[in-house]
Amino acid sequence: MSVNVSMAAIPAAVSEFIRGPHKLLIDGKWVAAASNKTFSTHNPANGSLLAEIAAAEAADVDLAVNAARRAFDDGPWSRMTPAARAKLIWRLADALETHAEEFAFIETLDNGKPLNDAKIVDLPHSIEVLRYFAGWCTKLNGESISISNPGTWHAYTMREPVGVVGSITPWNAPLMMAVSKIAPALAAGCTVVLKPAEQTPLTTLRLGQLILDVGFPEGVVNILTGFGETAGAAMTAHPGIDKVTFTGSTDVGRIIIRAAANDFKRVTLELGGKTPVIVFPDADIDRAIEGAARSIFSNAGQICNAGSRLYAHRDVFEKLVDGVSRRASEFRVGPGLAASTQMGPVVSQEQLDRISGFIASGQNQGAELRVGGGRIGSEGYFIQPTVLTGTRPDMDVVQQEIFGPVLCAMSYEEADLDRIAREANATSYGLGAVLWTQNLSTAHKMAKKLKAGTVRVNGGGLDPALPFGGFKQSGWGRELGREGIEAYTELKSVAMAL
């Protein structure tokens, strides 16, 4: 990390917003927490205090859920036409576009990610997700059903909003996550209580201001900043919430399932991953090197489907590992506000320690450090892009989600697709898988064999129309696409004797 980098100047509107005050959004008004408690959010690039934030607890959850209930049950939201809902969601997208630069700065300051990434990934994707789901408001249909005795009854299905949704989001892409939760919920006609991660509440709070500005009725979206163990747990236990949607760790996913079991809340979970990147000898190796490096070093590896396990055929293994290691040492690590930065800090001291702990445990269990491995500087939470070789399937670094810029590189011997798939599938996760091959037959056969919610071949990204989610312990259900909005509905069957 170079010390004398030139930093982007923070726009006045951003400084003013960050100064606060930062309260809870309940029933269309910004209010302090009932307890008056606050917590602080920090800038991961230097550890400095950014802002004090209201800390919601059970009493605030109760107020927010009641507001969302009223707006859903007999408030203006339930009487609004789908086309009017679509217009409001589209207006929110326009407002986000108008303020995109400001949001990108706030995200970089709170989360640490490079400003350029926030501008070219987080903001455009968030805006597209809103517009995509705005379109769905007017297109949610049931079906007419052909029953077994034609002519004796008429039968059809219809989709109704599930009700009040409690959404709990993580810190790795805070705005994208907040938008990916509220857009389909609102499009389906639900109301929302949204809790951002305690590490990164700011863009969600700024989004709350835009939600009021564009004219959403009060109580439709409520925002509760606070901790998981207090605010989050109170949401998952609250009988007024019909559905919980959560993105975060598999451990908390398990806690949420147990809490939701009491009253059978609907649950969608998008949890951890341990995505394998499988390189066949016929792959375009230069593109595979670049793709593998980006897949694990983008957002400092803090991506649920980061390509964290590399499996390359032994004929191309050395070339690949050399290439990815070279890219690792070239990656410019620095503060997100510096124009030259390609990888920012990780989000917190806790994550830095967790990642360093994994690297040490890998080495203790016999892995070899090919490149990286160390913390950079003593200010902020910077860590080097890291490649480990000599890793084996039984090691913690190969089995567990590290959520940092750490790649475990392994080779395979022969061309038996079943064996390769078996090894790639041998973790408790099943979120993503990446293939690099020029052979169509290999690609299709492998796509079928891999236990993963998303299989990418030679690249491909995230799209609002493409369902996203995991097999196995990577979660329940899908977000985005048609399945993503249907997850916010109940299906009703109507049967009528003729």
In the complex with ligand NAI, the residue whose CB is nearer, 66 or 473, is: 473
Q: Which of 167, 247, 268, 386: binder of ligand NAI (CB under 6 A)?
A: 247
Work out which of 1, 88, 179, 252 binds ligand NAI, going by CB under 6 A: 252
Interaction of residue 224 with ligand NAI, rule CB under 6 A? no
Rounded alpha-carbon distances, angstroms, from residue 152 to 142, 145, 498 = 20, 13, 5
Segment contacting ligand NAI (CB under 6 A): 194-202, 292-300, 332-340, 409-417? 194-202
Cα-Cα-Cα-Cα torsion 355, 358, 364, 368, nearest 10 degrees, comes to: -70
Q: 290 an active-site residue?
A: no
Window 377-416: contact mask with ligand NAI (x via CB under 6 A): ------------------------x-x-------------
CB nearer to ligand NAI: pick between 329 and 349: 349
Query: Judged by CB under 6 A, which stretch of 88-96, 249-257, 309-317, 328-336 contacts ligand NAI?
Result: 249-257
CB of 304 to ligand NAI, least distance (A): 3
Contacts of 351 (CB under 8 A, 6+ apart): 302, 381, 403, 404
Among 44, 114, 228, 432, binds ligand NAI (CB under 6 A): 228
Chain-centre distance of CA 319, in angstroms?
Answer: 32
Token pair belonging to 257: 């399932």
The residue (of 236 and 384) whose beta carbon lies closer to ligand NAI is 236
Positions 350 through 379 that interact with ligand NAI (CB under 6 A): 351, 354
Exactly one of 232, 240, 335, 362 binds ligand NAI (CB under 6 A); that residue is 232
> How does strand 191-195 pair with strand 221-223?
parallel
Catalytic site includes residue 270:
yes
Q: Is 249 among the residues that bind ligand NAI (CB under 6 A)?
A: yes
By rule CB under 6 A, what string of x and - marks binding of each residue 137-176 to ligand NAI?
Answer: -------------------------------xxx-x----
Residue tagged active-site, from 198, 304, 408, 479: 304
Cα–Cα dist 71/76, whole Å: 6
| Residue in 198, 218, 242, 479 binding ligand NAI, rule: CB under 6 A | 198
CB-wise, 180 or 437, nearer to ligand NAI? 180
CA distance 486 to 185: 9
Which residues is 471 bridged to in the sheet? Answer: 430
Residue type, 70: R
C-alpha span between 176 and 121 (Å, rounded)? 9
| Binding segment toward ligand NAI, per CB under 6 A, in 80-88, 111-119, 243-251, 362-370 | 243-251
Catalytic pick from 270, 401, 479, 486?
270
Give the CB-nearest residue to ligand NAI: 228
Q: How far apart are CA 400 and CA 459, in angstroms?
A: 24
Contact between 180 and ligand NAI by CB under 6 A: the answer reads no
Does 55 participate in binding ligand NAI (rule CB under 6 A)?
no
The residues assigned a catalytic role are: 270, 304
State the residues that interact with ligand NAI by CB under 6 A: 168-170, 172, 195, 197-198, 227-229, 232-233, 236, 247-249, 252, 255-256, 271-272, 304, 351, 354, 401, 403
